[in-house]
Structure 1
Amino acid sequence: MTVEPKKNMEVTPWKVSGDIDYDKLMVQFGVQGMTDELADKIAKHAGFKHLQLRRGVYLSHRDIDWWIKEYEKGNKVGLYTGRGPSGSVHLGHLLPWFFCKYLQDAFDADLYFQMTDDEKFLHRDDLTLEQAIEFTYENALDVIACGLDPKKTHIFSD
């Protein structure tokens, strides 16, 4: 049996369409697949396996294996994530933030959270600078509401 390659795949920051080839995307974005072994190692340090790890929500990661090794050597580790504020927050935004809280608590990590309001303003003709700034403030409140450690969470805007 021959497997046909997936065609017409388009993945951009603004559009996802066609038959998505996740293996190809992982190569393009330079990420590695999440393994059960790695999820178990995270859980060992955290004291429990996060719901998202138990349910296989995460397909891939970038260097979390290296990150854990650094932690095991006694080195301080940190987290980085962000949001392009252009509207209200939804569950798709919240899931990685909840996972960041889990990692922050488990590994005593500082979280650096970038609001890329400049990117949204420059790439959306229908978004004014004032709207982008307002969404930034509103979304920062949403981030804070996730229960992240205020002494270890650094929210910044471009």
Structure 2
Amino acid sequence: MTDSNCVSEKMENTTIEDQPPATADAAEDFVDPWNVTSQSQTGIDYNKLISRFGSSKIDETLLARIEKVTGKPVHHFLRRGIFFSHRDLHTILSLYEQKKPFFLYTGRGPSSEALHLGHLVPFIMTKWLQDTFDAPLVIQLTDDEKFLWKDLTLEEANRLAHENAKDIIACGFNPDKTFIFSDLDYIG
């Protein structure tokens, strides 16, 4: 860890994207950023996914620690298991207890004009994290990636990033502690 620690909203919902796509066989679940399928009669084995993607389960002990450290109730997305695994949450809590800085990082690949509920859930959780920990937040809009992988012009990909930024801003992030950038605008 560096003095300026980065802990990502990706800790729960996009750890899958950080890993190579899982391979499918007759008895395995298949999860990648776009698909979730299971060959099992009982559905997805989330414990196997946690193990496969190197994350840790969010359990009652961790939820109790969050409440103790922050003095606030955990978000209902955590309590209800919508976010069920993590990376770095223990690190966040330790840094917070030690009054050491860290920041949150998340992003969006803009491929449509508006965000739907599935896009908004991670931003709702990130808003809670920012408010709870009073942490700075960086939001990257990967319009360059959408240009490369979708049938979009550079101008259209950049336009969609700007439209998506409006929806993200509407989530109510602290403007003094939030940096939103488009790859095409900021990096070139």
2:38 matched to 1:14? no
**8 Å CA contact 2:130, 2:136 repeated in 1:** yes
Counterparts of residues 56-95 of structure 1 (less than 5 Å): 56-87=81-112, 88-95=114-121
The one-letter amino acid of 2:166's match is L
Aligned pairs (5 A) from 1:10-49: 10-19=30-39, 20-44=44-68, 45-49=70-74
1:55 alignment partner AA: R
Tell me, in whole angstroms, the C-alpha distance in 1 between the residues paired with 2:71 and 2:162.
31
8 A contact 1:80–1:112 mirrored in 2: yes
- Output one character per residue of 1:6-42: Cα deviation in whole Å (capped at 9) or x when no partner: 6353322333333444333323322111111212222
Q: How many residues align?
A: 153
Q: Partner of 2:132: helix, strand, or coil?
A: helix
> Secondary structure of the equivalent of 1:143?
helix
Percent of aligned pairs with the same residue? Answer: 50
Are 2:185 and 1:153 aligned?
no
CA offsets 1:106-139 (integer angstroms, 9 cap, x no match): 1110011111111122112x22222211110011
Letter in 2 for 1:14: W
Alignment correspondent of 1:134? 159
Aligned mates of 1:96, 1:50 — CA distance in 2:
12
Please, which runs of 5 or more residues in structure 2 have no aligned partner?
1-24, 184-188
Partner Cα distance (1:97, 1:116) in 2:
15
Indicate the SS of the match to 1:94: helix
> Shift of residue 46 of structure 1?
4.9
The verdict on how the C-alpha distance between 1:131 and 1:21 changes in structure 2, with shifts beyond 3 A counting, is: farther
- Aligned: 1:117 with 2:143: yes
In 2: Cα distance, 1:58 partner to 1:46 partner: 20
For residue 47 of structure 2, give the secondary structure of its aligned residue in structure 1.
helix
How large is the RMSD of aligned CA atoms in angstroms? 2.0
Distance 2:71 2:175 in 1: 20
| TM-score w.r.t. length of structure 2 | 0.73
Q: TM-score, normalized by length of structure 1? A: 0.86
One-letter amino acid of the counterpart of residue 122, structure 1 = L
